[in-house]
């Protein structure tokens, strides 16, 4: 089936540094998401992005977070600066379009460890 890729699979950084997580969504999809899962806890929605804009964000999407997809390349999640509580697995997902009935396809996740 359609594949979403995420780079890197693991990232270890020191608190206060910047990190960028990359997502390569399904090629004809237009609607993109980031989800966060802290180890042993529930998967939670962070943000969705459509037509170059953030459509909705949760309270977990702090001011230090930003997303973009410049020129149809990777869909990225940037955290600057990072904090200890940002340690989690971040999953990217994409959906064909807005509205209607459509499945969200998930990437394998990026495990972020903030020391």
Binding site for another protein (CB under 8 A): 1, 31, 33, 35, 37, 42-45, 48, 55-56, 89, 91, 93, 95, 98-99, 101-106, 108-109, 111
Q: Which of 104, 88, 103, 108 is nearest to 43 (CA)?
A: 88
57 vs 81, which CB is nearer to another protein?
57
- 82 token code pair: 């990072």
Q: How far is the CB of 42 from another protein (least distance, A)?
A: 5
Q: How far is the CB of 79 from another protein (least distance, A)?
A: 19
Is residue 20 exposed (0-12), middle (13-18) or buried (19+ Cβ within 10 Å)?
Answer: middle
């Amino acid at each position: 089936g359609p594949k979403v890729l995420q780079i890197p699979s693991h990232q270890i950084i020191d608190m206060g540094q910047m990190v960028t997580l990359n997502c390569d969504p399904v090629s004809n999809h237009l609607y993109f998401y980031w989800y966060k899962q802290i180890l042993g806890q529930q998967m939670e929605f962070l943000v969705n992005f459509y037509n170059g804009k953030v459509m909705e964000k949760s309270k977990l999407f702090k001011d230090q977070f930003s997303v973009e997809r410049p020129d149809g390349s990777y869909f990225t999640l940037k955290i600057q600066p990072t904090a200890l509580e940002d340690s989690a697995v971040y999953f990217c997902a994409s959906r064909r379009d807005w509205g209607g009935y459509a499945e969200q396809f998930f990437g394998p996740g990026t495990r972020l460890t903030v020391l």
